[in-house]
Structure 1
């Protein structure tokens, strides 16, 4: 059976979850549509989600649409939970991007659409809330074209816009509709055919026009499948208007996929839950092959036995003996499985990564005796969301987590209280900077040559590279020493670059191993293994930090802070006060746009100032200002350069580092 893994994405409060409920009802999975406000929706299953009325964790429900099984994935809309969205994007065969007919294109709408377009995910747009006062149709379509993509085509017409009786129906396929399709497709051959079809005798024109109309719509469907054009549907998830049209659009434009159940096993884990007994439950999409209960399967770099599995169907997940390619399943028994692990052969996934969180905060237990339990609980939360980035400073006995925003902090606090019985406080959030390499540096230490106390030779060169990652390369032959030693070097390089010269993550760097050497395994006079004469992976793990940090010191780094792109809508009369406040917050505003009595300001602002701006804006605009912001880029810090204490032994202080290594090895 064909499977369509369909994502529902939107800016917060655009109506994603309500739309999911309406689609489930239309498919016959549920009898009554749940309410976000009442906390009765199928996908917002967490108590915290129901109380707050927002989606925090991605949820999967399934229903049949003709001969296709649709796995519907409801994703969070709040930017604080963008990591959940990121993990879903690689799974999708298609997407519905929900836009409010009242609020229109918002900051998160633009972020999500750009990601979908770069990944080539076929996307339909559903303009929700046409029954709300202030709803727009034509002008909103113009905004979609101007702010997202010229290839947006309205396939619905709206009657009674902005009233409770608002209805949506398919547009008449007239000349205006055909010309709109042509404008979106930008196809010269179709344009020539269309012009030819409208000329000549009436009889010939009618016949050729019919043929051209079929070709035009066929071309449009093909472009949608390639994510190069996007149908725009209108409706209301609350009243049900336009839902049948959207379902027809999903059936027509999003064809889904057919995996090969007989092919090599290949899947990916995108979500982790904890069961009542504390066991890990992995959510995975299978791209190829089949998994059955009691199968032993490769998971990441190890093997595990599947003890149970369930498959999503008819709105719930049901126990099943096997899962085949194309489906999404919950798997038990995979041990220390992590988000992002491959099941079987690693699939070729689309590569779209939202940047790391820009804030961090120290989590302090209300009772000192709860510190070990807090560490355990935060470790489990980091399993479910790796971008939480748990950071343990043993010297200061502090636990820090990374954040996208203040709402996420509230959710973490509530989760710790409700699920783990831990009351915590949070220190004020601080900005997470990064370090970028500015030059080239190299260092090497040779085996059996002072001051190197380790049985290893390591040489490393550090230099800038484009992008945000760490590129590790070999400048020596792979056969020059055991593979395990090379692996130890690479893993230690990645681990050490989490804290650069000033304690921040180093990004955009290429590290090349220029020298290698080891002593082969040797025995003592009694025939036993002699560590004093033989290199181990531990020698390389201990030496790499010294060599790497020296190379990094020679190369030099610059500390960069995160900048957000902001957009403020406000009364035009309040422009002066808001612009003055933006200047004090180191923001760089662009010239304001004024329409009637309303104004819009866009620009960039340091991430650390966003929260303060949000707090001040209501007072500056009599409560009428609306702020949107989203991360845009990192820029070198101006003024005093911030640093962050290291959480481990500092290899830049050689004596203290060596003493710490000796203590760690000896267990003292």
Structure 2
């Protein structure tokens, strides 16, 4: 129907069809498995792999880096775009490990909703709390999926109470498990009381069949579980736990669904909930706080830059969230940071590591722009009506190391690799007058980032390196006057961030920082955004 609409009306009509969301969780909650299962039940892939890192197992579509496949964790965010029902789904899989919080933070700048994945046995965990705080600060509505209900775990009501008491979100169950964790018999639709039973497949590799079972039949087959579920549902109704769209969109309540991603239980119901409940794109505030209308000329936010996705071409891709207007492949956009034109001849729709050429895109869509050497995370692109969207801040690093090329004959490759990883935002690269460009300082939120850097430098650039870890644990922004004051102070160093020229004063610990602060009353020390939870 949208194809016959006049052009001014087409953009908001297409935007209403978009659902752009991220899956967030603590490590090992099953996030990448759920991501793959969602694609499986949308029928855009035929079989799914599982993230276990065991020999003979296939890696998930969203985990494409060699290090991800070996370790069985997601290190970078990935995009899966596909159609479901009458909607276009832009699903962003995020790293669960706290060391890669900064990458997840960037992804959350590009989405309209999030699925918070909870392990039925563990409930809310530190990294989940951290990511939810980001969602709350950005006003992102959150759906909750309680995963692994096919394994032993906690009671459903206990998990709901933890969500409400810990993060202040009122749970609104959409489905309810029949059977305790580890003895799942199926799911009850809270609004209607309808019961669905699932047939399992080997390892969840193919879609499980869902069967609607009459109430009398399931009540006779599972009398104890059915009676317990009816009591729990009655309690939920009594306390007013029914779905309220206004509370969901305002961020004060969360729809809750139960299931098991690995065996496919409840996955299609989650997809339907995302289509029916999650918001479509809305006007996005620019850097001055003014909403940019969806039908305004084309604009987009670069939230991620990634190289090495295609080993055959070794190109570099910028992931852009379309914020307004109709994007057309080949159009020339303006790079807001430099004012220079940026051609979009090589525009891709992305599905994990796979790519297809995209001819047009609308608000909410994620477009991959190839050979995007000039772009960095947080950059804005626009067509005719200038706009700057708010920058994506860098986190406060907590780990520091000097990196040096181990092979003097590969110094050019070393420098090129460091520059690329810096521009991608894989790690913060700092320079020091004491060491020079040949020995930059890497600053990380978590130590696993160093592993990614050394692995990629060696595998992609043939530049093996050595790391010398430094004893700094805290960083603060300072100015030129502060840099002068700090010269010669022990357990203190001033470094320049290559990405933006910001001066960072780094200290061995907070007590040393406070001692120096008391010594120099005029010293400027400003906090940076917080890093991962420790």
How does the TM-score come out when normalised to structure 1? Answer: 0.59
Q: Is the 8 A contact 1:360 1:432 kept in 2?
A: yes
- Post-superposition Cα deviations, 1:525-573, rounded to whole Å, max 9, x if no partner, equal xxxxxxxxxxxxxxxxxxxxxxxxxxx9772356999999xxxxxxxxx
Report the alpha carbon displacement of residue 6 of structure 1 after superposing the two structures with TM.
Answer: 1.1
Q: Which residue of 2 aligns with 1:255?
A: 279
Report the alpha carbon displacement of residue 386 of structure 1 after superposing the two structures with TM.
Answer: 5.9
Q: Is the 8 A contact 1:363 1:399 kept in 2?
A: yes
Q: Which residue of 2 aligns with 1:233?
A: 257
Residues 361 and 166 of structure 1, relative CA distance in 2, 3 Å threshold: farther
Q: Which secondary structure does the structure 2 equivalent of 1:222 belong to? A: helix
Pairs aligned (count): 434
Q: How does 1:629-648 map to 2 (within 5 A)?
A: 630=533
The higher radius of gyration belongs to 1
Residues 167 and 65 of structure 1, relative CA distance in 2, 3 Å threshold: same
Distance between the aligned counterparts of 1:93 and 1:563, measured in 2?
23
Report the alpha carbon displacement of residue 395 of structure 1 after superposing the two structures with TM.
Answer: 4.0
Q: Which residue of 2 aligns with 1:51?
A: 70
Residues 563 and 330 of structure 1, relative CA distance in 2, 3 Å threshold: closer
Distance between the aligned counterparts of 1:436 and 1:404, measured in 2?
16
Q: 1:179 aligns with which of 230, 238, 243?
A: 238
1:555 equivalenced with 2:458 (yes/no): no
Q: Which residue of 1 aligns with 2:306?
A: 273
Distance between the aligned counterparts of 2:343 and 2:318, measured in 1?
13
Report the alpha carbon displacement of residue 279 of structure 1 after superposing the two structures with TM.
Answer: 4.3
Please say which of residues 122-131 and 357-366 is displaced more in the overlay: 357-366
Q: Which residue of 2 aligns with 1:339?
A: 377
Report the alpha carbon displacement of residue 331 of structure 1 after superposing the two structures with TM.
Answer: 1.6
Q: Which residue of 1 aligns with 2:7?
A: none
Distance between the aligned counterparts of 2:444 and 2:506, measured in 1?
23
Distance between the aligned counterparts of 2:314 and 2:132, measured in 1?
37
Report the alpha carbon displacement of residue 252 of structure 1 after superposing the two structures with TM.
Answer: 2.4
Q: Which secondary structure does the structure 1 equivalent of 2:503 belong to? A: coil
Q: Is the 8 A contact 1:304 1:335 kept in 2?
A: no
Distance between the aligned counterparts of 1:144 and 1:270, measured in 2?
29
Q: Is the 8 A contact 1:119 1:350 kept in 2?
A: no
Q: Which residue of 2 aligns with 1:535?
A: none
Q: 1:14 aligns with which of 29, 34, 37?
A: 29
Q: Which residue of 1 aligns with 2:421?
A: 381
Q: How does 1:59-458 map to 2 (within 5 A)?
A: 59-163=78-182, 165-171=184-190, 175-181=234-240, 217=243, 220-257=244-281, 263-274=296-307, 276-300=312-336, 301=338, 302-312=340-350, 316-332=354-370, 334-344=372-382, 353=393, 355-385=395-425, 387-391=427-431, 393=433, 395=435, 397-435=438-476
Distance between the aligned counterparts of 2:394 and 2:238, measured in 1?
37
Residues 71 and 150 of structure 1, relative CA distance in 2, 3 Å threshold: closer
Any stretches of 5+ residues in structure 1 without a counterpart?
A: 183-215, 443-490, 505-551, 565-628, 632-668
Q: Is the 8 A contact 2:31 2:93 kept in 1?
A: yes
Report the alpha carbon displacement of residue 179 of structure 1 after superposing the two structures with TM.
Answer: 3.1
Q: Which secondary structure does the structure 2 equivalent of 1:430 belong to? A: coil
Please say which of residues 280-289 and 166-175 is displaced more in the overlay: 166-175
Report the alpha carbon displacement of residue 178 of structure 1 after superposing the two structures with TM.
Answer: 2.9
Distance between the aligned counterparts of 1:421 and 1:21, measured in 2?
32
Q: Is the 8 A contact 2:282 2:294 kept in 1?
A: no
Residues 243 and 291 of structure 1, relative CA distance in 2, 3 Å threshold: closer
Distance between the aligned counterparts of 1:437 and 1:338, measured in 2?
23
Report the alpha carbon displacement of residue 371 of structure 1 after superposing the two structures with TM.
Answer: 3.4
Q: Is the 8 A contact 2:472 2:507 kept in 1?
A: no
The CA RMSD measured in Å over matched residues stands at 3.5
Residues 286 and 321 of structure 1, relative CA distance in 2, 3 Å threshold: same
Distance between the aligned counterparts of 1:410 and 1:308, measured in 2?
31
Distance between the aligned counterparts of 1:145 and 1:223, measured in 2?
13
Residues 226 and 316 of structure 1, relative CA distance in 2, 3 Å threshold: farther
Report the alpha carbon displacement of residue 116 of structure 1 after superposing the two structures with TM.
Answer: 0.8
Residues 343 and 68 of structure 1, relative CA distance in 2, 3 Å threshold: same
Q: Is the 8 A contact 2:102 2:395 kept in 1?
A: no
- Post-superposition Cα deviations, 1:148-184, rounded to whole Å, max 9, x if no partner, equal 12412233222232326453332366653333336xx
Distance between the aligned counterparts of 1:130 and 1:256, measured in 2?
30
Residues 17 and 162 of structure 1, relative CA distance in 2, 3 Å threshold: same
Q: Is the 8 A contact 1:12 1:54 kept in 2?
A: yes
Distance between the aligned counterparts of 2:172 and 2:351, measured in 1?
32
Distance between the aligned counterparts of 2:31 and 2:447, measured in 1?
22
Instruction: Identify which of structures 1 and 2 has the higher relative contact order when contacts are C-alpha pairs closer than 8 Å and 6+ apart.
Output: 2
Distance between the aligned counterparts of 2:146 and 2:410, measured in 1?
48
Q: Is the 8 A contact 1:131 1:236 kept in 2?
A: yes
Distance between the aligned counterparts of 1:96 and 1:140, measured in 2?
16
